[in-house]
Every structure is written in structure tokens, then in C-alpha cells.
Amino acid sequence: MMKALLTHEMGSLAKPGWRVKAYAGQPLGQADLEEARTWGERLSVPGHEELVDLLGRGPFDAGQKQEIRQWSSRYGVRFCESAGLDAVYDGEQQRSEMYAWAIAHAGGFDFRGTVRSWDNKYYSKAAVTGPISLEVPYHSEEFAYLRSVATAELKIPITGAYTLAAWSFDEYYDTDTSLAGLAAERKARRADARRRFTLDIATRLIRPNVEDLIRLGGQWIQIDEPGGSTEPDELELFVDSFNASVEGLDGTFSTHLCFSDYELFFPAIERMTGCKQFAVGFANYDTRELGTKKEDRPGYGIIDKFRDLPYRPALGLGVLDIHSDFIEPPELVRDRVLYAIEVFGDADRIHVTPDCGLRTRSWEVAYAKLVNMVEGVEMARKALGL
């Protein structure tokens, strides 16, 4: 994991049309089969003709749907490997969505409906309604399969406790809707409820999953926390939940943060000493102009704070804006990377990633972005003589 300028993806990719339709029981057209064939060839997916053949034989029973889901995973892994990434996963092809997948496999939650994330992007939001429990670890089957098909290093993304709590309604830990008492007292009551809720998720859901992944041979586990700084006064809780999830376990742990005011994470994350890498989205805030001076890279102004963390984690430098179809030229990636290395003074601590998962982009766009990212990193290596 500690290779200089290591490249990796950040979790999710869009699901191919053939995977979505097959799973939903919808008829597949010739275009869907062609999509599977074309990408199979382009990514050199071993045995992809078998998938094309299978897709032509719908409707599908449960076993065939499972087979198609695994094919989707296989394509996802090859997508990342073929783009040239050093560490890969499957674009979360087997999961419904990063929040819904976890909650659907946990006891104590009930889904309430969809809520906007941004624009036309929504997620299914649940309420905690009872004691939280985990019947079966919900990433283990997926990981066991991916180990059998991946050739590159696997980095396992798992949604973190704080984000799961922040994205849920609370109908169990704090149920008082009256406005009796002082606002400060109500705030303290809510804070106590949130702490109990979050740490219950960390210890009853996340940690057992992480333990099982390690048992299966998982080495690098990325705790995804896009909601990490949602509540500015809960950063200590965010850190406590990360530590409660992984402390004392024998693995390499990192975290992913995005679309936040990153200043808020300091100084709280100084206590997150078990975190070996912070993968952070920056490109969304940056210009598209070339240049390696500070004024050329306004989106990366805060990276010195990550540099100065006393336990010297790596920085996963987000260089691809995942909300845009703009294909970052390799030269732009190069300049963002060179700027970060200049600030850090240590290429070993810079890894290179998209800002976040690329699931809102088409495969065509996502692939072009990743290929350019890898090329840009190579250009940076050459510029530095690495």
C-alpha cells in the first residue's frame, strides 16, 4: 500500500445496463448484449463470451441472477485493472448502494423512503427503530469472490459507522419531540443519543464485518465516511467511531472523505492514528488550468494539514471530479500530483485517486478519466525521475 503515487479507485462504478435489467427481471435487448460483449473484449474479461451467452437466455432464475451479479463484479475488477490502477475493487457491483446495502443487512432499522443527496440523486433513508444487530457479515461473500478473480491488490471499501448514523433518522435513541426544557439540554440529549447510536454501529456492525474480512485474508480496508463532517461538533465522535471499528485489529485501515469542509476534521483526526491513508476529494474545488504553483491549485489549499498529521498517513489525492463528464487531461493530473508532492516533500505519502466513486458517470467517461489519471501519474513520475 505504501508505494509512491499508488493509484486506486474510490468505490462505486455505475452498474451496467445488462446487470440492472437482469436483476430487475426486465427483458434485455441486443444493445445490452452488445454492451457486455464490447466491454468484455475491451477489458479482456476472461470468459466474457459465457456471460453474453447467458444474457441471451433470459428470464433468469435466482441462481442465474447471482451469476450475472458476479459477472458484473468481474467486469468491475477488470475495469480498474485494465485502466492501470494499482489497487482495485469491483465498483461495488454486488451492493445495492453504500448506505442501503449496510442497513438492509442490519437489524434494528426500517427504511422510510428516498431523500435527496443532490440534484436528481437520492438515497433510501432508514430510521433506527430498535437494537442494532448483525446476523451475517455483509461484505464477506463479495470479498471471497473478488479474491478469486482479481490479480491486482484489493482495497475493500466499507461504509463507516459515523456516515451510517448521520444518514439515518433516529426513532430509537432519542424519541422526545416535545420542546420542553432548555435548547441546550435538548442538544445535549441529542448528542448523547447520537454517540450511543454511532458507537453501537461501530461495535455491532462495522467491527464484526472488518474482523470477518481480515479472517478471509483482507488486508486493506477503506472505511468510507462521506458524511464524516456533517455535524461540525461531532468530529470527536467521528474519530471515536473509526477507532472503535478498527482499533487492535490486524489490518491496514484508511478512510475516505469527500465534499466537506475539510478544515473541520482538524485537530480531531490527530487521534486517528490507526488510519494509514486519508483519501480526500479535492478536484471538485479546483480549477482546470494547468500549473503547479499554490495559486494554480486552489482546490488543494488544505493538504498541508494532512501532511502535518503526527502519525504521517498517506494522502489519497482526489484528482478527478466525479460530478462532471470533463475528462481531466493527463497534464492536469500531473500538475495536481506535482503540487501535492511539492507540499508534502515526500512522494511516498501521495496516492492518487478520483474524488469519490464514479458511479454517476458512464463507463465510457469513468474509464477515460481513470486511464488519464494513470497516465498523468506516469508523467509526474517521469518529471520527478521516480
Partner 1 sequence: LNVSTYLHGIYPRSEAVVAATRDLDRGRTTPEAVDHLYDQDLKELVQAQEEAGVDFFTDGLLRWQDLFRPILEACPGLKPGALVRWFDNNTFYRQPEVNGKLTLGTPTLEILDSGAVPQPRVATLPSPYLFSRVALAKSDPNDVMQDFAAGVLKPLARQLASDGYGLIQLQEPWVASHGIEDDDWKPFAESVGVVTDGLEATTVLHTYYGDASPWADRLRELPVDAVGFDFIHTDLDALGTEWPTGILVGCLDGRNSLIEPADHVIDFVKRAADRLEPSAIYLSVSSDLELLPQATARQKVLAMGEAGRQLKETL
Give the residues lining the site for partner 1 (CB under 8 A). 112-122, 125, 127, 166-167, 169-171, 175, 177-179, 182-184, 186-187, 227, 229-232, 259-261, 284-285, 323
> Shortest approach of partner 1 to residue 5 CB, angstroms?
25
Contact indicator for 319, 353 with CB cutoff of 8 Å:
yes
**Nearer CB in complex with partner 1: 186/307:** 186
Among 216, 220, 227, 267, which Cα is nearest to 246's? 220
C-alpha cell at 194: 447520537
Among 143, 151, 156, which Cα is nearest to 82's? 151
Contact indicator for 44, 82 with CB cutoff of 8 Å:
yes
Among 257, 386, 282, which Cα is nearest to 333's? 282
- Pairwise CA distance, residues 244 & 99, whole Å: 19
> Shortest approach of partner 1 to residue 175 CB, angstroms?
6
- Pairwise CA distance, residues 153 & 288, whole Å: 31
Instruction: Output the CA angle 95-97-99, nearest 5 degrees.
Output: 115
> Shortest approach of partner 1 to residue 33 CB, angstroms?
18
Contact indicator for 300, 339 with CB cutoff of 8 Å:
yes
**Nearer CB in complex with partner 1: 292/324:** 324
**Nearer CB in complex with partner 1: 219/284:** 284
344 exposure class (CB count in 10 Å sphere: 0-12, 13-18, 19+) = buried
- Pairwise CA distance, residues 313 & 296, whole Å: 25
**Nearer CB in complex with partner 1: 59/232:** 232
| DSSP labels, 161-201 | HHHHHHTSEESSS-------S-HHHHHHHHHHHHHHHHHHH
> Shortest approach of partner 1 to residue 122 CB, angstroms?
5
> Shortest approach of partner 1 to residue 170 CB, angstroms?
8
**Nearer CB in complex with partner 1: 84/301:** 301
Q: What are phi and psi of 250, to 5 degrees?
A: -95, 80
> Shortest approach of partner 1 to residue 183 CB, angstroms?
5
**Nearer CB in complex with partner 1: 252/260:** 260
- Pairwise CA distance, residues 341 & 373, whole Å: 16
**Nearer CB in complex with partner 1: 77/279:** 279
> Shortest approach of partner 1 to residue 124 CB, angstroms?
9
**Nearer CB in complex with partner 1: 67/170:** 170
**Nearer CB in complex with partner 1: 123/145:** 123
The 87-88 sheet, strands edge to edge: 87-88, 153-159, 220-224, 252-257, 275-280, 314-320, 350-354
> Shortest approach of partner 1 to residue 46 CB, angstroms?
29
> Shortest approach of partner 1 to residue 121 CB, angstroms?
8
> Shortest approach of partner 1 to residue 242 CB, angstroms?
18
How many residues are given for the chain? 386
**Nearer CB in complex with partner 1: 62/183:** 183
- Helix, strand or coil, per DSSP, at residue 68: helix
- Pairwise CA distance, residues 152 & 58, whole Å: 32
